[in-house]
Structure 1
């Protein structure tokens, strides 16, 4: 995998952070809806929550805590994280995702470091990237396990502390952790996401931001893309070389990066 660590470049931006679900592929794929159904089924079958309460609870927890999973933990439900992810993602219709050679060529033509930043677990992220044919387009994946390690790791103490709840987007703390883990300068990093609140938090953390799947700007967004495929028309500066700084070397990732 080409990390771009050795490239001598003079670009305005040094790193591109991409959300994955409903950003690298369209919401119309149906995976989002299927995932929500799986989460509701898990709440019914494994947590034994009253059926009449589940749909509203699922939505309210998502809005309040970033993910329904995070919210369930906060309100006192105990369950295994891996089991939850396996249930929510293990039965998704991944076959609906097809290779995307257009996006692949766009990504490979970008001189910057490219990193996935998702709330999902690593297994899901790898499956999605493989289905899209983008598995070798990214330097690494910052995912659920990256932000919520099973145990403390000494050399990552700066990035991780003992959290009483799950660390995830849209919390600004999650963005700040991702910035440290990826070892990037937020002022030279662009963040792409389909979520309005994630974009707002990314901006609060100092990142340049792009809302994907929207034709108009939303609060905190610097750019808006109807589709990730419109990236070159909307942000040509990604490919532009700054002649005044032709020997700038992009910094390599920190050891905390979870590689796909």
Structure 2
């Protein structure tokens, strides 16, 4: 690489900041949805978060503060609030999913540059989310990227078992015939990259644009320097623009 080449946006100290060679073998690109394809500062997921607290409060007849604490406990222990409610209270998931994803998506603006960067990636592209397909599609359409993905693998397709459970990744890979050693995954939660890395995937942790801090639970921000996180970037679009030419050289 030329000496005057710009460094990658932001990366794990465990990764060579100029070494994109591992992406040369990638032919499948997998993206988380919330706080990954769109920036957290839109507060879109905050709407979902608030509605989950409201659902728990109504379901269990609790004060809002206590309901929020329980919601976060379930999220941390089970991977999603929904999973916790199903295990602990036996709820039907349909009502929960419909209620919490009934939000205002208008804060998401079209992102032509991101759209072009995703479209330029050679091979197959997927969204893998613990949310619903309808929620993912609404966001992808507003971003202008919905036509670039082969499939949206949502929490229903995962049989309601959320990331980071290994069975969910296996179900996804098996459904689409994906070779993990030729795939890359982009996520905003470090723990969701552990299984992909163990199976040989390239792993990229996406943090908020322009900052290293997110107004989330402290445990959600842990693991940025974990061995299973190969790259860290606060500019998904810029990162993809740098990676794409490396992968295209092989595909061509």
TM-score range, shorter chain: 0.7 to 0.9
Aligned twin of 1:82: 94
3-state SS of the aligned residue for 1:110?
A: coil
Q: 1:38 aligns with which of 51, 55, 62?
A: 51
Distance 1:64 1:89 in 2: 21
3-state SS of the aligned residue for 1:147?
A: coil
Distance 2:63 2:49 in 1: 17
Unmatched 5+ residue regions in structure 2? Answer: 1-23, 213-222
Aligned twin of 1:178: 172
Residue pairs, 1:43-82, within 5 angstroms? 43-75=56-88, 77-82=89-94
Residue 201 of structure 1 and its aligned partner are, at CA, apart by 2.8
Cα distance, 1:225–1:33 mapped onto 2, change above 3 Å: same
Q: Is the 8 A contact 1:114 1:138 kept in 2?
A: yes
Distance 1:236 1:125 in 2: 24
3-state SS of the aligned residue for 2:157?
A: helix
TM-score by length of 2: 0.79
Deviations 1:154-189 (A, max 9, x none): xxxxxxxxxxxx411011221121111121110000
Q: Is the 8 A contact 1:186 1:207 kept in 2?
A: yes
Structure richer in helix, relative to its length = 2
What RMSD in Å do the two structures reach over aligned CA positions?
A: 2.0
Distance 2:100 2:82 in 1: 10
Deviations 1:185-224 (A, max 9, x none): 1000001101111112321333221101167953111111
Residue 124 of structure 1 and its aligned partner are, at CA, apart by 0.7
Residue 34 of structure 1 and its aligned partner are, at CA, apart by 1.2
TM-score by length of 1: 0.76
Distance 2:241 2:152 in 1: 26
3-state SS of the aligned residue for 2:61?
A: coil
Unmatched 5+ residue regions in structure 1? Answer: 1-10, 149-165, 247-260
3-state SS of the aligned residue for 2:184?
A: strand
* Runs of 4+ that moved beyond 4 A: 214-217
Residue 93 of structure 1 and its aligned partner are, at CA, apart by 2.3
